[in-house]
Amino acid sequence: MEENQYEENQMKPIDRPLYLKRIEPMINTEFIKIITGVRRSGKSYLLLMIKDKLLSMGVDEDQIIYINFENPEFFDLLSYKDWYKYLKDKVVANKKVYLLFDEIQEVSEWQKLINGLRIAFDSDIYVTGSNASLLSGEMATYLTGRYVEIKMLPSTFKEFLHFKKLKNTDPARHLSEYLEYGGFPSVVLQTNSQLKRDVLSGIYNSILLRDVAGRATIKNTEVLERIALYLLSNTGQLISINKIANTLRSSGLKVSNNTIENYLELLHNAFLFYKVPRFDIRGKKYLRGQGKYYVVDLGFIRSQLQRKNINRSSKIENLVYLELLSRGYEVFLDKYNDKEIDFVAQKDTDVKYIQVTDHIPENSTRESDNFLHLPTGYQKIIITNNWDDVGNIDGIPVIHIIDFLTK
């Protein structure tokens, strides 16, 4: 019964209007629209939403070419030369063509062909990919100045409430579920707890073993898996390569610092973890060495660590970080003199300085003290998970995590 329920739910798509709204102004522009993000976050369905939008605008079906390069039907197109021959036969003469390419990292030298398609056809191009290295390296120079990147994440808490038709209920009642199971669309749709955990484990293993180990041809994955578990166990903590190395070596694993550094980059490139660098406000420079790592979806913490007593404050901090990313902010960890500030979030001229806590201990001023030395004019916010904390401290607004997520 549970298996049938899973298959039925798998057929139900989840709309992501947040991202479609960002893409709509780019339709029929010369820029290549590149949608990046972790596997199973909804990129493929977003392409289908774009297709539906084009059809509603009067574009003919034969003007739209959609290819998913993970579909066996298109495995013979994984060479860019074969791909071009296929497209030449499909493009309708004297009509604009709309090209939608899913999981494009599977095609060798895809950047070279995409740039050529701009010249060969009157085209509007949309692509998705599950690896950050898509837009780095020598091949990426073919696209310099010619693309716009749309960064996609699993669903936000607000989207989660919408998907589950909970918008008219008290959102505070549902935060625990979101913190435990996260926002992957295929997980949100499930009603059975064990099935949620199984789906999460499947997604996690697919990313780790296929998108990371498989792509980098790592045969012995033990070190990679242990590094990933270390990051999950230390969400929101300052982490250095030396700290990871000492932990692994103390358990008998022989591993070099260079290997750890390479594996951290691979985990980042697969969008499984995000590294947030430290920035010295006063010195206006990045601080080398330590940084914090946040996982792309909170469900992975519970599904992989198998512990219920995971630090809730760290999960709240991870949640705030992901929410800021989804809103288009660039996020740093801040240091001003000797005071650590959880986040500085910047989008154009909008800059916010944010402290995050599960609750503010009685008579504690730590959260506000870290702000006191900041120059005046900076927007400062304390986000808490305790309703009794809400108000202000020394003129600094203290808001509940629910209000922050749902506004």
Residue 88 sits in a domain whose CATH number is 3.40.50.300
The mean pLDDT of 13-35, rounded to a whole number, is 92
In a domain, 286, yes or no: yes
Residue 12, pLDDT above cutoff 60: no
What pLDDT digit, counting tens, does each position of 382-405 carry?
999 999 999 998 889 999 999 999
Residue 11 located in a structural domain: no
- Domain end (from 131, 152, 173): 152
Domain boundary among 152, 181, 202: 152
Instruction: Indicate whether 111 and 181 sit together in one domain.
Output: no
* Per-residue pLDDT tens over the stretch 60-72: 999 999 999 999 9
Over range 16-21, report the average pLDDT: 92
Give domain status of residue 6, yes or no: no
Is residue 102 predicted with pLDDT exceeding 90?
yes
Question: Domain containing 232 — which CATH number?
Answer: 1.10.10.10
pLDDT at 67: 93
Residue 9 lies in a domain: no
Average pLDDT value for the chain: 88
Question: Could you tell me if 134 and 177 lie in one domain?
Answer: no
In this structure, the answer to whether residues 246 and 325 fall within a common structural domain is: yes
Domain check: are 136 and 253 in the same one?
no
Residue 238 has pLDDT above 70, yes or no: yes
Q: Which residue has the higher pLDDT, 58 or 169?
A: 58
**Is 10 part of any domain?**
no
Is residue 282 scored above 60 in pLDDT?
A: no
User: What's the CA gap between 114 and 42, in Å, rounded?
Assistant: 22
pLDDT given for residue 7 in this prediction: 38
The tally of domains found in the chain comes to 2
Residues 22 and 161 in one domain: no
Together in a domain, 380 and 297? yes
pLDDT of res. 8: 37
Place 139 in a pLDDT band, splitting at 50, 70 and 90: low
Domain assignment of residue 306, yes or no? yes
Q: 66 and 161: one domain?
A: no
Q: Is 131 found in the same domain as 43?
A: yes
As a whole-number percent, the residues of the chain with pLDDT over 90 amount to: 63
Residues 192 and 213 in one domain: yes
As a whole number, mean pLDDT of residues 258-287 equals 83
Give pLDDT tens digits for 305-329: 977 657 888 999 999 999 999 999 9
Residue 4 lies in a domain: no
Domain match, 248 and 351 both? yes
Residue 372: domain span: 157-406
101 in a domain, yes or no? yes
Asked if residue 115 and residue 209 are part of one domain, the reply reads no
- pLDDT at residue 135 greater than cutoff 90: no
Last residue in a domain, options 107, 132, 152: 152
Same domain assignment for residues 147 and 171 = no
